[in-house]
Amino acid sequence: MNKRFLDKVVIVTGSGSGIGQTTAERFAEEGAKVIIAELDKSTGKLVEENINKKNNQAKFIETDVSDFNSVNDMVNGAVKQFGSPDILINNAGINVFSEPLKMSDDEWKRAFSVDLDGVWYGCKAVLPFMLEKGKGSIVNISSVHGFQIIPNCFPYPVAKHGVIGLTRALAVDYAAKGIKINCISPGYTDTPILERFFSTKPDPEAARKEAEFRQPIRRMGTTTEIANTILFMSSDECNYMIGANIIVDGGITLKIHENEDTGAN
Ligand SMILES: NC(=O)c1ccc[n+]([C@@H]2O[C@H](COP(=O)([O-])OP(=O)(O)OC[C@H]3O[C@@H](n4cnc5c(N)ncnc54)[C@H](O)[C@@H]3O)[C@@H](O)[C@H]2O)c1
């Protein structure tokens, strides 16, 4: 196994499940010391244990990304445990989908506190350590909702557009100081968040099949396919890329709409 991240200190938020979990596991396999910064104690601890069982290195630190003090304590804990962070993956996120005028103020705040404030708090807490080293890499997880609109998903896309904007703004401000900040926009990826989304539909299985058919690739992405892109963007193979947004979506956002004759070939 290629060890691109040997002894690098990597923080992955929301790594108790889905994309974050696979990303943490992949970093650990490639030699990194990984902080599992997760809200859910049981899943966070389990991911830590599974990584350590394979003789790789992980430490779970309970973290709520929507609370700056919690994020700051986690980063200080990471420094004590493994040393100053080299890489941060701002992955934690939640789906808040509502009809704009029916949405409560609390839902609006909940969406932004996790999906946008959480990304900023991660950057704000690690940047001083990265600046001290003169090197660092941050990858923020946006979504295809970060640049396209799917009806009835408000305000999730507003927050995810913000993640791309935040990435670009910080990337410019810190590039000359040796820090690269980029972003990934996954499309449909097979994770619990997606299961929860389909379970809100009258016929979840049919809704999933229809969504798969709309994908040019005719399937959902895997967490490994997203994690592989995250690892590439975090690595030194990617040092000329600043403020970029890599779209990993099986081609869905290349299309404007379906033609009538969808089964042509
Ligand atoms: N799965 C998809 O199809 C898809 C598509 C595009 C973008 N994304 C984005 O990818 C990221 C990961 O999503 P996923 O599909 O793996 O979801 P998931 O629900 O499987 O995992 C998200 C993790 O974040 C944690 N989390 C939630 N709130 C938190 C908080 N306040 N502090 C710390 N951790 C918290 C959850 O406990 C969970 O472990 C999210 O930002 C999501 O918006 C997912």
pLDDT score for 158: 98
pLDDT band at 1 (very low <50, low <70, confident <90, very high): confident
Q: What span, in angstroms and rounded, lies between the C-alpha atoms of 92 and 108?
A: 17
Q: pLDDT-based confidence at 257, cuts 50/70/90?
A: confident
Q: Please report the pLDDT score of residue 261 as a whole number.
A: 61
- CB count in 10 Å sphere of residue 37: 33
Give the DSSP letter string of the chain. Answer: ---TTTT-EEEEETTTSHHHHHHHHHHHHTT-EEEEEES-HHHHHHHHHHHHHTT-EEEEEE--TT-HHHHHHHHHHHHHHH-S-SEEEE------EE-GGG--HHHHHHHHIIIIIHHHHHHHHHHHHHHHHT-EEEEEE--GGGTS--TT-EEHHHHHHHHHHHHHHHHHHHGGGTEEEEEEEE-SB-SHHHHHHHHTSSSHHHHHHHHHHHSTTSSPBPHHHHHHHHHHHHSGGGTT--S-EEEESTTGGG-S---S-TT--
**Out of 22-31, 179-188, 192-201, 239-248, least confident range:** 192-201
Give residues (CB < 6 A) around ligand 1.
13-14, 16-20, 38-40, 43, 63-66, 91-94, 114, 118, 141, 143, 186, 188-189, 191-194
pLDDT of the residue at 2: 83
Q: Is 212 exposed, middle or buried (0-12, 13-18, 19+ CB in 10 A)?
A: middle
Amino acid at 260: E
Angle, vertex CA 91, rays to CA 15 and CA 208, nearest 5:
90
| Angle (CA) 250 87 78, round 5° | 130
| Interval between CA 44 and ligand 1 midpoint (Å) | 13
Q: Give the per-residue pLDDT at 197.
A: 87
Report which ligand 1 atom has the smallest distance to the Cα of 15.
Answer: 39
- Residue 258 is predicted with a pLDDT of 84
- Per-residue pLDDT tens digits for 2-45: 899 999 999 999 999 999 999 999 999 999 999 999 999 999 99
Atom 8 of ligand 1: nearest residue by CA position: 143
Mean pLDDT of 171-179: 98
- What integer best gives the mean pLDDT of the chain? 96
**Which pair of tokens denotes residue 45?**
């601890």
Average pLDDT over residues 221-228: 98
Confidence class for position 114, pLDDT limits 50, 70, 90: very high
Q: Is the pLDDT of residue 174 over 70?
A: yes
SS3 62: strand
The percentage of the chain sitting over the pLDDT mark of 90, rounded to a whole number, equals 93
Band (pLDDT 50/70/90 cuts) for residue 262 is low
The pTM of the full predicted model, rounded to 2 decimals, is 0.97
pLDDT on residue 49: 98
Stretch 79-104: mean pLDDT: 97
CA distance readout (Å), 33 to 131, 146, 219: 20, 30, 33
Using one digit for the tens of pLDDT, what is the confidence trace for 36-84?
999 999 999 999 999 999 999 999 999 999 999 999 999 999 999 999 9
Best probe residue, ligand 1, of 11, 12, 13, 19 (max atoms within 8 Å of C-beta): 19
Write the residue with the smallest CA distance to atom 24 of ligand 1.
14
Backbone angles phi, psi at 160, to 5 degrees: -70, -35
Residue at 70: amino acid letter = S
Residue 256 neighbours by CB distance under 10 Å: 5
User: Which residues are designated catalytic?
Assistant: 156
Q: Is the pLDDT of residue 94 over 60?
A: yes
Domains within the chain, CATH numbers bracketed: 9-190+222-254 (3.40.50.720)
CA distances in angstroms from 28 to 34, 53, 71, 262, listed in the order given: 6, 11, 21, 43
